[in-house]
Amino acid sequence: MWSRGTGVIIAAALSLTACAELQPAAEPAVPDAPVVTEPAPPTEQDVLVEHLRLVALPAPEQARELQRLAVQSPTPRGSLQMALLLAHRGSAAELARAISLLDRLVQGGSEEDRRWQPLAQVLLDSWSEQRRLGDRIERQAQQLRESQRRQEQLSDTVAALKAIELSLPAKPAQVQPLPSPAAPAPAAPASGAPAGTP
């Protein structure tokens, strides 16, 4: 026979088992939905890395990239990328276009504009100074070419004058007339004659 204590333990165990059987089965754990994180906004370093990729391309592919950047919806990053590529190509017209793009970006008032303005301002200052130096060098080169042209004209004029001088007939030597004989000096008065006597 079971003791009273054993019977209580068995009764408690049976009641717990019955309760466990009556409880509904736990639902399987649903995994958490994956957290969708937006890509980090591009940084100045991303722009410069992309620039290095673009400048390594052959010139025709660079031209295609410029066309692609020109037709896509304008963004501050796109303007900066386009300005960098234009300035790299080196012509005066492309540098002027790059400066114009950066000038608009620096003066923009949107939050996205303000994010890129420090880098744009540094590039704008540098390229504007480069353009001023280029213009000054071009003016000096133009002045030098003009000076050389005038010097060549003067040299041609001197050479032409020498040729004309050499083509002239030689002048005959002129005979210098002999000097005329000097007139005889007046005779001295006779000695002993009083002065003033005729």
- Write the pLDDT tens digit of every residue in 7-54: 445 555 555 555 544 455 556 565 566 655 666 677 888 888 888 888
Could you list the pLDDT tens digit for every one of the 198 residues in the chain? 444 544 445 555 555 555 544 455 556 565 566 655 666 677 888 888 888 888 888 989 999 988 988 888 788 888 999 999 999 988 889 999 999 999 999 998 888 889 899 999 999 999 999 899 988 998 999 999 999 999 999 999 999 988 888 888 877 666 666 666 665 656 655 555 555 554
| Residue 13 is assigned to a structural domain of this protein | no
Give the C-alpha separation, 107 to 82, whole Å. Answer: 17
| Residue 74 is assigned to a structural domain of this protein | yes
* Residue whose entry in the numeric block shows the structure tokens 């010139």: 59
| Residue 76 is assigned to a structural domain of this protein | yes
* pTM, rounded to two decimals: 0.55
| Residue 161 is assigned to a structural domain of this protein | no
For the record, the structure tokens of 25 come out as: 């089965």
| Residue 183 is assigned to a structural domain of this protein | no
Q: What is the span of the domain harbouring residue 84?
A: 44-130
- Domain tally, the chain: 1
Query: Is the distance from CB of 80 to CB of 116 less than 8 angstroms?
Result: yes
Give the C-alpha separation, 77 to 69, whole Å. Answer: 10
| Residue 160 is assigned to a structural domain of this protein | no
Interhelix angle 44-55/76-89, nearest 10 degrees = 40
| Residue 57 is assigned to a structural domain of this protein | yes
| Residue 60 is assigned to a structural domain of this protein | yes
Q: How many CB atoms lie within 10 A of CB 128?
A: 14
